[in-house]
Copies of this chain bind each other. A is one copy, B any other.
């Protein structure tokens, strides 16, 4: 991979602008296009505004101008994709529009380039199915904004070639993102499935008069969310239960199953499923490290708390 080869960003809305920052920050030339002259005219100023704020928080290695100089505004898709190794599309969530746009990009782009969509709702198997270059198409769904939320979901279609997905994963790592593989094109992918699970339960709790909107938000931001900002949900319960996640599942699985049943869900944590989860956690953290990792967790919480103490008006 050469950092001299440009990245094409299609669409200068908020996600396109944010992607431009991600790639420019990693020293890639960025070729950004938008069909709207107004959006194009606005783009550099909008990127600069974000860069100034990042710089203020010490989050850039270089002056904002140096990054900004790597972004070229293009008045055509052809110019944007010229020589690009990766095409990242950020058009509105409209299948017909995306199909047309992607057909043009597929025809214009270097045959080696990956063609990725930032869409959170339209699987690549829908927008790419009729393209000659469908093998190099996939969804690459960022957190918003991607220069602050590192997670990126890679969702290949069944026809996406593995080497393309691998190359995109390597590119994402190279630019400082945290790619995850979503192996099936389920609605919501993983990010919005987890978010949806919380929102659905939260709405039920308000509906049933169990808690207010603000109190539910407080439970997250003064509790669960503090942990989840540096540990995933599996890691959290693995570290919170003496004996690890196997013991957690045995002790609390039945209670969580009952809570699910109340919402119509019955997906028990069978011995096979628990064994699968346990095996993956033990490969990441042997149980002998449990106490040590618990100290790390508490340290992370203390650092978060210290940061808040510094930053809040109290």
Contacts and interface: CB of A to CB of B under 8 A. Distances in A.
Nearest to A208: B184
Interface residues of A: mostly helix, strand, loop or mixed?
helix
B211 A181 contact: yes
A214 interface: yes
A44 B185 CA distance: 54
A44 B211 CA distance: 37
A200 B256 contact: yes
A271 interface: no
A191 interface: yes
Contact of A298 (B145, B201, B210): B145
A226 to B, nearest CB: 5
A159 interface: no
Contact of A180 (B182, B186, B219, B302): B219
A309 B58 contact: yes
A248 to B, nearest CB: 9
A111 interface: no
A202 interface: yes
B255 A202 contact: no
Contacts of A205: 186, 190, 193
A263 B262 CA distance: 12
5 contacts: A196-B259, A198-B233, A207-B267, A217-B232, A263-B265
